[in-house]
Structure 1
Amino acid sequence: MTRDKAHPFQMRVSSDWLNKIDDWRRTQADLPSRAEAIRRLVGMGLSFGIEVGDEISTPVGRATVKRIMSAIGQVVVETKNGDGHALHCPRSMP
């Protein structure tokens, strides 16, 4: 049985973005490292099962996904009449 090796990954981000990551990780019981926090948040984002452009049902009716912001647990959608709404995702997501 082979094990997948960990691959290094590097990216540049703004201070504001990094502060949001740090704020989120401080809410976690085990205070993950930044790298682990980003892995978890990306995993949560992927688990939404939706993509930008998808049509979804919201509390205010049908809407189109405009943005998925995993770092703050939010999906931004635009309803048929052009109104924008932010849907907050529960913290209990896997």
Structure 2
Amino acid sequence: MPSDPNYSFIDEYKKDGTGTSTYLYDSSVEPFTWVLSKDQKIMTQTRESEGETYTFDVEFYSFERDKFIIKDNEFNNVSYGVFERVK
């Protein structure tokens, strides 16, 4: 997520390419759910209660290296999305 402290999230993902982004300062806010496409090229982020769905191009994905990087084409092509593995 962007580095703005107002948009701070705890991000976790699993080896199957699914994950969550939980809002750091208010656990009552529904987390975003992440799903990586089978070809590992598109990441979809959804939050059903708000009717929000976003898609991102995946620049890099490596479970072994504990992270993936996505490119957000709607916000000045900023790359972000370094996720920690679920232990």
TM range (shorter): 0.3 to 0.5
- TM-score between both structures, scaled by the size of structure 2: 0.38
Q: Highest Rg: 1 or 2?
A: 1
Which has a greater percent of strand?
Answer: 2
Which has a greater percent of helix?
Answer: 1
- TM-score between both structures, scaled by the size of structure 1: 0.36
